[in-house]
């Protein structure tokens, strides 16, 4: 097109008397050739107007000038305008020269490029295919025009990630060019260069290198050293050497290319700007940040002048500055530049473009490196979704998005999700790139690190060794990534106490990083930290360990900042070293700093997590709390402020997942945002659907169950983001000791029990039970070690396996006058007696259990001769003593309101009766038929009928509304109908169940009861209501009918925010799986999530008669004016006078 315009300009100059039109055309060409695209556009517009005036609409100048307009808009990344002018030129050419004209092919080629940059691969491919068809018909398959068409289509396939197609076409194009023009022609060399670029893009750097070298040598011989094409070859070689980790060779070739460009095309040129930018990236990799900054600044200024501040190339320069500032620890500047770059590419070329995805990933990586997972996750998810839409779910770049998400989830302790994503990305890379590709090695390395974190060492070692082998063969021994795998493998060996192997690998990796990227690199800081850990754990060289930890901390502070999780991790590691060395004074300030970062991280991160993810996150970060408590254990003389900060860290852990999720639901339910409420309702509907699926045998469940679970979790996290403001989250999650003390009475103490892994100079494999004790006017809490976990386990093992024998051993048996608690004194000595010296003047105890203590009726423990703890103290259980800070006097003295009662349910009903019940037919009795087989059935509880009748009578006497559901009406439907109910109290007298967790996943479950087989503890605990024996016996639930087995999972989906008290007058309703710092996963947790304020639950099964008596006494006291806590205490005190603890101590009031 340019040569055509030159010819026409010559003819024009001889035929025009005036030079105005000629001058405009010449000016347009000059500006275009100088790459001054912004000024080319208005000049071309003036020239087109002049040509129309002098020559008419059909002048060939119009088509040429339109092409200049289109290409200028393309170069400025104004893709919509470029498309507009190209389509206009296409119409002009079809009307004048036809399809076989080279100008038409050039127009189609430019259209293909525009559509490719728009992400419209279908239209792009169509344009290139049309070119190929025309050139084949017009010129044949041996012409250079056909070879160029193959090259262009191959480039599109490379862009789309269809590498096999691309390689085949590049090779075919090279053969055409070779046959047509020979091996030393520019066309053939361009084809070879494109093929090498493809190999580089595929990560086949060793394969690309000889091709790049050959092309460079031929171009040098053919074109000379001072030609832009030779400079391009040098730039390509430099990039390839950089990818291979040979930074010295890369720097040499970059500098040669820069020198050539500066003398040939000049410094004000895109190729010069790109090459100095590439050299800047090299210096960034090697830690030469000042050199990188100088080159980035020069490139940014050139791009700003050439293409303006709205161009993706300018955004790329901003992105590079963001990455530079991230690595140098200037995070505010990093965020500023990355956000600006994202804003540019979001508008141009738009969200559906790879450049926008790159910005999302880089910004997410910044937030991830800062531990700001709240901000990182949605960006990674958006990037993943765009890539899936653009490229499909089999593309290597989509696999990279999965990998990025997996690394985030692994850092957050979401191991199951991370594993799933690592496996998926690895399979894509394996299928698309082969098993000898660096990306596949990356997936192996990352999956190995996950297995290492979950202590699956055999799997981890095999994968690390496989990754190391690939990286060594493909990238070489001096490559950054190979050193990373060595570092990771060393960490694994250290975990297995193979310290010599670990040390050797770490030294090798550290030397490689020192040579390649320098000492001012985060990877090198990790190497220092790991080597320090080896010396610490092997106990071979504590001074060297200390030196390395200090160096790692200083380096991480400089690179990452003082508030980064990795800096805090190094501080906690060094503190642990000092504990092992007995230098406790040095450990304290390090742990204070580390714990402060951790607390902030918890508060910030919780706002994006589902409930399960929250629990996993806390479990993942338990190390710092263990080290802090170990210091207090080893050094009772710790400074006062340290025990306080350790307590507040514990308060930030204890039942925090439950609290945060409950707060989220409450805020969402009370929100005035209608969209949020609709989202909440959708989530609840999804959870109900999932609950139904879990009640079915595996073969009857929907095939996309995993997808439905993921969708539900994603929706839960979005609700969390929208419903909980950062300020509210901080306030509810971070409670201080002072805030608890403000609500304590002068004669009251708060006791926060805990258990932790003990680190000390000797063994580190024991777990300790301890307690923090808080009194009203104390300046610090008292840290009180209690016993070892094994001591408590041994005591429980000797107490027997049945509730009767356990209660007889720990409390008293069935006979008041003869029974003795043989092991009760030992239990008291272990878990309570150490507290007594600090309880002088204390009459009330607010406590929160931990671990095995959740199953202990503390109030019934024998303290002194003839005295129980409840005789000495008024005891109140909390899920966490953090809740004392939220005590509300008005709520504490809440009077009874409307009560709903369930009892004497008909557990055994056949399918016909259940169906009739659903239709509203009342059945007076139920039949136990032969269709129930294979599982123990729940027997009737006639005594519960007497119990609720008595309670209803008491409420009637006080003229308070009471609704009672008995027999068939004591149904799951009626319980769930209380969703959003105004009932103040709910009393449920029925069977409760808790099925223990399998010892391991391979353990075989016998029988047909599905509830035993669930991994989720909320699906292994619940209540039995009318008709429940049908499903419990293994029968498939009847479609459209509730099965009468109400799991804790289902209860957790209800909205019972208006209900103050739930009484579960059923067996073992206080039990469940105890998971880390989160407490009991069972009915307690479910009702708390539903919004209940207080609960009365049981630790063991109590006979109907005595249960009814206790409950009647409780409600009588409450209705007569006592508050809930006092009424419950007085009722148990009355029972204590008549019965042994077996008949009343099982029940616990929990807030």
CATH code of the domain in which 972 resides? 3.40.50.1460
544 has a pLDDT exceeding 90: yes
Which pLDDT score is estimated for 1076? 56
Q: Are 225 and 260 in contact (CB under 8 A)?
A: yes
Which pLDDT score is estimated for 1017? 77
Residue 878 shares a structural domain with residue 898: no
**Residue after which a domain boundary falls, among 202, 218, 244:** 202
Which pLDDT score is estimated for 930? 29
Residue 620 shares a structural domain with residue 763: no
The model's confidence at residue 545, banded by pLDDT at 50, 70 and 90, is: very high
| Per-residue pLDDT tens over the stretch 628-667 | 888 899 888 776 778 888 888 888 777 666 666 677 777 7
Q: Is residue 938 in some structural domain? A: yes
Which pLDDT score is estimated for 680? 76
The model's confidence at residue 8, banded by pLDDT at 50, 70 and 90, is: very low
Q: If residue 211 lies in a helix (H) or strand (E), which one and from where to where?
A: helix 205-223
- Give me the helix-helix angle, 499-516 and 480-495, nearest 10°: 160
Which residues, 6 or more positions from 607, have their beta carbon under 8 angstroms from its beta carbon?
Answer: 374, 720, 721, 724, 726, 729
Q: Which of 192-201, 291-300, 995-1004 has the lowest mean pLDDT?
A: 995-1004
Q: Is residue 384 in some structural domain? A: no
Q: Is residue 319 in some structural domain? A: no
Which residues, 6 or more positions from 333, have their beta carbon under 8 angstroms from its beta carbon?
Answer: 321, 322, 325
Query: d(Cα 202, Cα 174) in Å, to the nearest integer?
Result: 19
Nearest to 860 by CA among 1150, 1151, 1133, 1062: 1133
- Two tokens at 92? 């002009």
Query: d(Cα 230, Cα 232) in Å, to the nearest integer?
Result: 5
Q: Which of 310-324, 874-888, 1029-1043 has the lowest mean pLDDT?
A: 1029-1043
Query: d(Cα 246, Cα 286) in Å, to the nearest integer?
Result: 11
Mean pLDDT of 141-153: 89
Q: Is residue 396 in some structural domain? A: no
Residue 232 shares a structural domain with residue 167: no
Residue 880 shares a structural domain with residue 754: yes
Query: Which residue would you say has higher pLDDT here, 687 or 527?
Result: 527
Which pLDDT score is estimated for 318? 93
Sign (positive/negative) of CA torsion 286, 291, 297, 302? negative
The CATH number assigned to the domain holding 285 equals 1.25.40.10
381 has a pLDDT exceeding 90: yes
Cα–chain-centroid distance for residue 809? 46
pTM for this prediction: 0.68
863 SS3 class: strand
Residue 952 shares a structural domain with residue 1067: yes
| Per-residue pLDDT tens over the stretch 821-837 | 578 888 999 999 999 99
Q: Strands 1061-1064 and 985-989: what pairing? A: parallel
**Residue after which a domain boundary falls, among 280, 307, 334:** 307
Which pLDDT score is estimated for 1074? 55
Q: Is residue 653 in some structural domain? A: yes
Name the β-bridge partners of 798: none
Residue 943 shares a structural domain with residue 1078: yes
Mean pLDDT of 566-585: 90
Query: d(Cα 522, Cα 416) in Å, to the nearest integer?
Result: 27
Query: d(Cα 988, Cα 1023) in Å, to the nearest integer?
Result: 9
Give me the phi and psi of 804, to 5 degrees please. Answer: -65, -50
Nearest to 370 by CA among 326, 409, 315: 326
Q: Strands 1072-1074 and 1080-1082: what pairing? A: antiparallel
Q: In what order do the strands lie in the sheet with 991-994?
A: 991-994, 1021-1024, 1045-1047
The model's confidence at residue 319, banded by pLDDT at 50, 70 and 90, is: very high
Which pLDDT score is estimated for 814? 42
The DSSP 8-state label assigned to residue 572 in this structure reads H
Which pLDDT score is estimated for 1041? 75
Name the β-bridge partners of 752: 772, 848
1 has a pLDDT exceeding 50: no
Which pLDDT score is estimated for 364? 92
Nearest to 875 by CA among 1133, 1103, 1099, 652: 1133
| Per-residue pLDDT tens over the stretch 1067-1097 | 766 565 555 555 556 788 888 888 888 999 8
Residue 251 shares a structural domain with residue 168: no
- Two tokens at 244? 């291979």
Which pLDDT score is estimated for 620? 64
The DSSP 8-state label assigned to residue 1005 in this structure reads P
Query: d(Cα 71, Cα 40) in Å, to the nearest integer?
Result: 10
- Give me the helix-helix angle, 656-670 and 1083-1090, nearest 10°: 30
| Per-residue pLDDT tens over the stretch 212-250 | 999 899 999 999 999 999 999 999 999 888 888 788 899
Mean pLDDT of 690-707: 70
Query: d(Cα 150, Cα 125) in Å, to the nearest integer?
Result: 12
| Per-residue pLDDT tens over the stretch 286-314 | 777 889 999 999 999 999 988 889 888 89
Residue 1099 shares a structural domain with residue 960: yes
11 has a pLDDT exceeding 50: no
Mean pLDDT of 951-957: 94
Percent of the chain with pLDDT over 70: 86
Residue 579 shares a structural domain with residue 631: yes
Cα–chain-centroid distance for residue 950? 51
Which pLDDT score is estimated for 14? 42
Q: Are 1086 and 992 in contact (CB under 8 A)?
A: no
The model's confidence at residue 6, banded by pLDDT at 50, 70 and 90, is: very low
Query: Which residue would you say has higher pLDDT here, 126 or 915?
Result: 126
Nearest to 377 by CA among 406, 345, 338: 406
**Residue after which a domain boundary falls, among 202, 223, 242:** 202
Query: d(Cα 580, Cα 759) in Å, to the nearest integer?
Result: 8
| Per-residue pLDDT tens over the stretch 762-793 | 555 689 999 999 999 999 999 999 999 899 88
Q: Is residue 983 in some structural domain? A: yes
Q: Which of 252-261, 971-980, 990-999 has the lowest mean pLDDT?
A: 990-999
Query: d(Cα 506, Cα 510) in Å, to the nearest integer?
Result: 6
| Per-residue pLDDT tens over the stretch 80-109 | 888 898 888 888 888 888 888 888 888 888
* For residue 349, cis peptide bond before it (omega within 30 degrees of 0): yes
Q: Is residue 577 in some structural domain? A: yes
Residue 798 shares a structural domain with residue 914: no
Which residues, 6 or more positions from 282, have their beta carbon under 8 angstroms from its beta carbon?
Answer: 238, 242, 247, 250, 251, 254
Query: Which residue would you say has higher pLDDT here, 921 or 1137?
Result: 1137
Domains in the chain, number: 6
Which residues, 6 or more positions from 652, have their beta carbon under 8 angstroms from its beta carbon?
Answer: 598, 599, 602, 603, 733, 734, 735
Query: d(Cα 753, Cα 880) in Å, to the nearest integer?
Result: 9
Which pLDDT score is estimated for 643? 87
Query: Which residue would you say has higher pLDDT here, 601 or 497?
Result: 497
Q: Which of 33-47, 207-221, 464-478, 1126-1140 has the lowest mean pLDDT?
A: 33-47
The model's confidence at residue 16, banded by pLDDT at 50, 70 and 90, is: very low
610 has a pLDDT exceeding 80: no
Range of the domain at 50: 1-8+23-76
Residue 31 shares a structural domain with residue 55: yes
Which pLDDT score is estimated for 504? 94
Looking at every residue in the chain, the average pLDDT score rounds to 83
- Within 1023-1123, residue ranges assigned H as helices are 1028-1032, 1048-1051, 1083-1090, 1104-1119
382 has a pLDDT exceeding 50: yes
Residue 988 shares a structural domain with residue 1117: yes
Which pLDDT score is estimated for 815? 46
Which pLDDT score is estimated for 449? 92
Which residues, 6 or more positions from 311, have their beta carbon under 8 angstroms from its beta carbon?
Answer: 76, 77, 303, 344, 348
The model's confidence at residue 725, banded by pLDDT at 50, 70 and 90, is: low
Q: Are 610 and 720 in contact (CB under 8 A)?
A: yes
Which pLDDT score is estimated for 669? 75
Name the β-bridge partners of 993: 1022
Q: Which of 532-541, 646-655, 1008-1017, 1049-1058 has the lowest mean pLDDT?
A: 1008-1017
Q: Is residue 474 in some structural domain? A: no
- Two tokens at 480? 């950054």
Q: Are 273 and 303 in contact (CB under 8 A)?
A: yes
């Amino acid at each position: 097109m340019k040569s055509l315009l030159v010819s026409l300009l010559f003819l024009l100059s001889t035929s025009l008397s005036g030079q105005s039109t000629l001058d405009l055309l010449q000016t347009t060409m000059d500006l275009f050739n100088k790459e001054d695209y912004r000024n080319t556009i208005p000049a071309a517009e003036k020239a087109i107007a002049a040509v129309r005036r002098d020559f008419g609409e059909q002048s060939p100048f119009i088509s040429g000038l339109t092409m200049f307009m289109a290409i200028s808009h393309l170069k400025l990344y104004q893709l919509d305008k470029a498309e507009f002018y190209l389509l206009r030129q296409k119409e002009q050419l079809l009307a004048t020269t036809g399809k076989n004209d080279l100008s038409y092919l050039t127009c189609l080629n430019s259209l293909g490029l525009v559509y490719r940059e728009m992400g419209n691969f279908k239209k792009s491919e169509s344009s290139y295919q049309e070119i190929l068809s025309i050139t084949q018909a017009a010129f044949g398959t041996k012409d250079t025009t056909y070879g160029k068409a193959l090259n262009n289509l191959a480039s599109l396939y490379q862009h789309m990630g269809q590498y096999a197609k691309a390689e085949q076409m590049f090779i075919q194009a090279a053969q055409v060019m070779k046959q047509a023009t020979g091996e030393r022609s520019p066309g053939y060399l361009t084809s070879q260069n494109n093929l090498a670029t493809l190999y580089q893009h595929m990560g086949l750097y060793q394969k690309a290198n000889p091709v790049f070298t050959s092309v460079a040598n031929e171009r040098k011989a053919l074109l000379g050293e001072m030609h832009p094409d030779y400079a391009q070859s040098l730039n390509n070689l430099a990039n390839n050497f950089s990818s291979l980790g040979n930074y010295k060779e890369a720097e040499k070739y970059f500098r040669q290319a820069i020198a050539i460009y500066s003398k040939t095309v000049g410094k004000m040129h895109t190729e010069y700007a790109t090459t100095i930018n590439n050299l800047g990236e090299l210096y960034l990799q090697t830690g030469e940040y000042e050199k990188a900054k100088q080159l980035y600044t020069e490139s940014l200024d050139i791009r700003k002048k050439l293409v303006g501040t709205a161009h993706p190339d300018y955004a790329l320069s901003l992105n590079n500055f963001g990455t530079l500032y991230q690595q140098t620890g200037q995070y505010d500047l990093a965020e500023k530049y990355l956000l600006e770059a994202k804003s540019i590419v979001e508008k141009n070329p738009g969200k559906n473009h790879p450049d926008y995805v790159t910005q999302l990933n880089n910004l997410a990586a910044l937030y991830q490196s800062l531990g700001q997972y709240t901000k990182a996750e949605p960006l990674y998810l958006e990037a993943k979704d765009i890539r899936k839409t653009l490229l499909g779910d089999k593309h290597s770049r989509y696999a990279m998005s999965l990998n990025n998400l997996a690394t985030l989830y692994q850092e957050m302790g979401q191991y199951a999700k991370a594993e799933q994503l690592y496996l998926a990305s690895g399979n894509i890379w394996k299928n698309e790139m082969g098993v000898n590709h660096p990306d596949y090695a990356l997936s192996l390395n990352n999956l190995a690190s996950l297995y290492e974190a979950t202590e699956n060492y055999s799997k981890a070692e095999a994968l690390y060794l496989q990754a190391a082998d690939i990286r060594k063969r493909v990238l070489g021994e001096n490559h950054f990534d190979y050193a990373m795998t060595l570092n990771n493998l060393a960490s694994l060996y250290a975990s297995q106490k193979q310290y010599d192997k670990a040390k050797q690998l770490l030294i090798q990796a550290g030397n490689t990083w020192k040579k390649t990227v320098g000492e001012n690199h985060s990877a090198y800081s990790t190497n220092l930290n790991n080597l320090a850990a080896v010396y610490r754990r092997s106990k071979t060289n504590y001074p060297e360990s200390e030196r390395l930890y200090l160096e790692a901390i200083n380096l991480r502070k400089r690179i990452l900042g003082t508030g980064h999780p990795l800096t805090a991790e190094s501080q906690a590691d060094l503190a642990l070293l000092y504990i092992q060395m007995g230098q406790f004074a040095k450990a304290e300030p390090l742990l204070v700093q580390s714990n402060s970062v951790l607390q902030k991280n918890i508060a910030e991160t919780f706002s994006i997590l589902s409930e399960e993810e929250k629990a996993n996150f806390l479990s993942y970060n338990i190390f710092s709390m263990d080290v802090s408590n170990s210091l207090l254990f080893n050094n009772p003389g710790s400074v006062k402020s340290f025990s306080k900060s350790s307590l507040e860290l514990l308060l930030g852990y204890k039942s925090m997942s439950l609290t945060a999720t409950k707060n989220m639901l409450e805020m969402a339910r009370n929100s005035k945002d209608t969209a949020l409420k609709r989202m909440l309702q959708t989530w609840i509907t999804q959870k109900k659907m999932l609950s139904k699926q879990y009640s079915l045998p595996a073969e009857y469940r929907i095939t996309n169950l995993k997808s439905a679970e993921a969708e539900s979790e994603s929706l839960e996290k979005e609700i969390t983001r929208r419903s909980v403001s950062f300020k509210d989250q901080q306030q509810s999650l971070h409670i201080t000791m002072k805030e608890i003390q403000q609500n304590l009475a002068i004669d009251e103490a708060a006791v926060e029990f805990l258990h932790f892994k003990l680190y000390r100079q000797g063994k580190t494999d024991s777990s300790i039970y301890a307690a923090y004790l808080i009194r009203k006017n104390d300046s610090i809490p008292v840290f009180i070690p209690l016993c070892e976990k094994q001591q408590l386990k041994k005591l429980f093992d000797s107490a027997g396996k049945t509730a009767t024998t356990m209660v007889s051993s720990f409390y008293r048996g069935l006979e008041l006058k003869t029974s003795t608690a043989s092991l009760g004194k030992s239990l008291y000595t272990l878990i309570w007696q150490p507290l007594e010296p600090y309880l002088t003047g204390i009459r009330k105890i607010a406590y929160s259990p931990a671990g095995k203590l959740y199953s202990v009726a503390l109030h019934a423990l024998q303290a002194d001769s003839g005295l129980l703890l409840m005789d000495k103290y008024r005891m109140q259980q909390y899920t966490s003593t953090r809740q004392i800070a939220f005590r509300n006097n008005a709520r504490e003295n809440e009077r009874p309101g409307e009560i709903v009662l369930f009892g004497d349910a008909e557990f055994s009903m056949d399918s016909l009766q259940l169906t009739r019940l659903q239709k509203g037919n009342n059945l007076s009795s139920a039949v136990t038929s032969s269709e129930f087989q294979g599982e123990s059935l729940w027997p009737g509880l006639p005594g519960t009928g007497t119990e609720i009748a008595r309670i209803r009578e008491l409420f009637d006497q006080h003229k308070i509304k009471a609704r009672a559901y008995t027999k068939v009406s004591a149904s799951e439907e009626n319980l769930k109908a209380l969703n959003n109910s105004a009932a103040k109290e709910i009393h449920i007298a029925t069977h409760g169940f808790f099925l223990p967790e399998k010892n391991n996943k391979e353990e075989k479950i016998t029988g047909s009861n599905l509830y035993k087989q669930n991994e989720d503890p909320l699906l292994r605990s619940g209540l039995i209501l009318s008709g429940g024996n049908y499903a419990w016996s293994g029968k498939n639930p009847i479609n459209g009918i509730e099965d009468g087995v109400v799991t804790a999972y289902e209860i957790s989906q209800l909205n019972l925010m208006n209900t103050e008290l739930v009484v579960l007058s059923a067996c073992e309703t206080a039990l469940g799986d105890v998971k880390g710092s989160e407490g009991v996963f069972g009915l307690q947790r479910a009702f708390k999530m539903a919004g209940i304020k207080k609960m009365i639950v049981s630790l063991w099964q109590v006979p109907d008669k005595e249960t009814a008596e206790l409950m009647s006494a409780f409600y009588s006291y409450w209705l007569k004016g006592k508050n809930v806590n006092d009424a419950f205490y007085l009722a148990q005190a009355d029972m204590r006078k008549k019965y042994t603890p077996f008949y009343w101590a099982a029940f616990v009031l929990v807030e």
